[in-house]
């Protein structure tokens, strides 16, 4: 049996290299871990980054995890996020999902232009389309088995708010590049840290708490004199953090050693 020093236990690699954290890796079968590793997992006060593979099981067992089960379950799930926002009354663009691709029904519900998205695997702005006419709608419907249709909110920037344990650690504008409608940095958007509205930060924290998203980058957009929550990104990029001179691992380490992450879920 291998011997492990006392410390925090992680499965996913997000905290690899932090000396106080034993990172075991994610293995498909629990008994792929050796006896010492299994004991370490079972006796740990908290399991860090269990990934979707194990988060449900640990939650059912009553073990504390970070991030939360909800953070794992709603990652890259635009349809589920939209439904959750609607149920919780979180301001969100008018959105409808069509499981049968009835073009006439979409056009009864929305006027050009509108947004169409691939419901999954459409990060970094890929799989997001501004539909301006019938031909563009037809092309979208040929590539997406489920139609995710959303009203278009005119904008030249959106706001990314990164939160760890419901604490906004960073917020920045993503300014749309000329010739594009998407505010993704991967699409050429520019970062601006100036004049971050307090109301947007309050809405972001309210949304994260209500949804139980405790490690998330929320995208918000100002239009028609109000804030809208567009979506939650659990695999948020690092360029904004790097531009601000921040290290996600160091931030996590401070929160872990201070005991803050041990209180995750207590909001």
> pTM of the entire structure?
0.92
In a domain, 45, yes or no: yes
Residues 163 and 147 in one domain: no
Range of the domain at 188: 157-263
In a domain, 79, yes or no: no
Is the model more confident about 238 or about 226? Answer: 226
pLDDT value of residue 5: 47
Residues 132 and 177 in one domain: no
Residues 52 and 101 in one domain: no
In a domain, 16, yes or no: yes
Residues 59 and 41 in one domain: yes
Residues 205 and 162 in one domain: yes
In a domain, 175, yes or no: yes
Mean pLDDT of 118-124: 75
Residues 179 and 242 in one domain: yes
Residues 180 and 142 in one domain: no
On the question of pLDDT at 102 being above 70, the answer is yes
Query: Contact, 154 vs 173, CB < 8 A?
Result: no
Q: How many CA atoms lie within 13 A of 129 on its CB side?
A: 21
pLDDT category at 108 given cuts 50, 70, 90 is very high
Q: 6-23 pLDDT, tens per residue?
A: 579 999 999 999 999 999
In a domain, 256, yes or no: yes
On the question of pLDDT at 76 being above 80, the answer is yes
CATH number, domain of 253, equals 3.30.470.20
Eight-class DSSP state of 6:
S
The whole-chain average pLDDT of the chain stands at 92
Residues 140 and 181 in one domain: no
Query: Contact, 112 vs 106, CB < 8 A?
Result: no
Q: Tell me which of 133, 151, 169 is where a domain ends.
A: 151
Residues 123 and 172 in one domain: no
Residues 162 and 256 in one domain: yes
CATH number, domain of 110, equals 3.30.1490.20
In a domain, 88, yes or no: no
On the question of pLDDT at 253 being above 50, the answer is yes
Task: Looking at the chain, list the stretches that DSSP marks H as alpha helix, in order from N- to C-terminal side.
Answer: 35-43, 51-61, 69-73, 78-88, 103-109, 134-143, 198-211, 239-243, 248-257
In a domain, 119, yes or no: yes
pLDDT value of residue 38: 97
pLDDT value of residue 4: 46
- Cβ-defined contacts of 27-31 (< 8 Å, 24+): 28/53
Residues 166 and 141 in one domain: no
For 181, the token pair is 């409608």
In a domain, 84, yes or no: no
On the question of pLDDT at 48 being above 90, the answer is yes
Mean pLDDT of 242-261: 93
Q: 124-183 pLDDT, tens per residue?
A: 667 899 999 999 999 999 999 899 999 999 999 999 999 999 999 999 999 988 877 877
Q: How many domains does the chain have?
A: 3
pLDDT value of residue 226: 97
Q: 185-227 pLDDT, tens per residue?
A: 876 789 999 999 999 999 999 999 999 999 999 999 999 999 9
On the question of pLDDT at 96 being above 50, the answer is yes
pLDDT category at 265 given cuts 50, 70, 90 is low
Residues 199 and 217 in one domain: yes
């Amino acid at each position: 049996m291998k011997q492990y020093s006392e410390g925090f236990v992680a499965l996913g690699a997000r905290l690899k290299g932090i000396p106080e954290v034993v990172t075991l890796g994610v293995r498909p079968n629990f008994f792929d871990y050796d006896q010492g590793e299994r004991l370490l997992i079972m006796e740990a006060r908290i399991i860090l980054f269990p990934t979707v593979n194990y988060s449900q099981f640990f939650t059912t067992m009553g073990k504390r995890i970070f991030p939360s089960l909800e953070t794992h379950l709603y990652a890259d799930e635009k349809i589920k996020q939209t439904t959750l926002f609607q149920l919780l009354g979180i301001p969100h663009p008018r959105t409808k999902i069509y499981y049968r691709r009835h073009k006439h029904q979409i056009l009864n519900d929305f006027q050009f232009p509108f947004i169409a998205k691939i419901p999954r695997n459409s990060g970094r702005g890929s799989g997001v389309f501004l539909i301006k006419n019938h031909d563009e709608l037809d092309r979208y419907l040929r590539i997406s088995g489920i139609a995710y249709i959303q009203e278009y909110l005119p904008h030249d920037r959106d706001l990314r708010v990164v939160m760890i344990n419901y604490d906004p650690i960073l917020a920045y504008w993503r300014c749309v590049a000329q010739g594009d409608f998407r505010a993704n940095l991967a699409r050429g958007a520019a970062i601006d840290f100036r004049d971050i509205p307090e109301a947007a930060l309050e809405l972001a924290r309210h949304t994260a708490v209500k949804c139980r998203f405790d490690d998330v980058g929320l995208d918000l957009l100002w239009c028609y004199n109000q804030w809208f929550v567009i979506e939650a990104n659990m695999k948020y990029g690092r360029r904004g953090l790097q531009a601000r001179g921040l290290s996600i691992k160091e931030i996590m380490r401070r929160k872990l050693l201070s005991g803050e992450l041990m209180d995750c879920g207590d909001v």
